[in-house]
């Protein structure tokens, strides 16, 4: 069994298109394509810490600001994944949370729902992927409904402990039970693409390069 830190390190070296192709090869669902990167730069990879934001009463216990429990449950391998699909325009993440996450070593945030203070996140270089930004506070509108629970982004369910990779093409979610074979398939695909690039740079006609290798990349078994 591969250690989680090694898996994250290897995932970070593979772009989301290769991972999406690997998921296609294995007939596994795991790509969300409508959460663009709004701050930070480059691909991120990590392990999901989740929370959900919605209207209503917060869970029992001492009052806590939304997202703070998730930050304190995170470490340097964590990507915080937030569901805010209430239909109420209210931030599920903001500048102070960004600073708290940076202090904790969090890799980045993926949010299906509005995020505040995106300029502050950009100034700090903190990666956030989200489908919407807003100025509206959560106060009086929505509350944190729970940390490290199943949440939804796009048409996927993300569970705490799932592997997350995000770049400007997609957000990829891989279940721990699938990650080793998805990673192996993605690395195989990336290696084939690298060989094809060398062929193109060597002057081989692109129709030859793509007509054979590329068309069968997802159906041929790995060597």
List residues forming the annotated binding site.
Answer: 94-97, 116-117
H helices of the chain, in order, are 4-11, 16-26, 68-72, 95-104, 118-124, 179-201, 206-209
Residue 50 three-state SS: strand
Q: CB–CB of 26/178 below 8 Å?
A: yes
CA nearest to 127, candidates 74, 165, 156: 165
Instruction: List the binding residues for Mg(2+).
Output: 117
Can you list the positions of beta strands (E) in 55-147?
78-83, 108-115, 128-133, 143-147
Q: CB–CB of 42/119 below 8 Å?
A: no
Can you list the positions of beta strands (E) in the chain?
31-32, 37-39, 44-54, 78-83, 108-115, 128-133, 143-147, 151-153, 156-158, 163-166, 171-174
Instruction: List the binding residues for substrate.
Output: 94-97, 116
Beta-bridge partner residues of 81: 50, 110
| The residue to which tokens 């793509």 are assigned | 210
Residue 195 three-state SS: helix
């Amino acid at each position: 069994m591969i250690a989680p830190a090694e898996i994250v390190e290897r995932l970070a070296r593979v772009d989301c298109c290769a991972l999406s192709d690997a998921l296609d090869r294995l007939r596994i669902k795991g790509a969300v394509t409508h959460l663009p990167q709004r701050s930070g730069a480059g691909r991120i990879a990590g392990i999901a810490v989740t929370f959900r934001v919605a209207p209503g009463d917060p869970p029992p216990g001492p009052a806590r600001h939304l997202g703070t429990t998730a930050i304190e449950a995170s470490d340097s391998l964590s990507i915080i994944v937030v569901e805010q699909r209430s239909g109420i325009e209210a931030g599920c993440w903001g500048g102070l949370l960004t600073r708290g996450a940076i202090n904790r070593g969090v890799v980045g945030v993926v949010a299906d729902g509005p995020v505040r203070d995106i300029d502050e996140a950009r100034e700090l270089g903190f990666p956030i992927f989200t489908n919407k930004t807003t100025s509206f506070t959560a106060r009086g509108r929505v509350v944190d409904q729970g940390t490290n629970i199943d949440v939804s982004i796009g048409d996927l369910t993300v569970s705490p402990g799932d592997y997350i990779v995000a770049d400007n093409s997609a957000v990829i979610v891989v279940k721990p039970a699938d990650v080793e074979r998805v990673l192996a398939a993605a690395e195989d695909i990336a290696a084939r693409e690298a060989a094809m690039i060398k062929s193109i740079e060597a002057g081989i006609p692109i129709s030859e390069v793509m007509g054979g290798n590329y068309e069968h990349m997802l159906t041929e078994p790995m060597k």
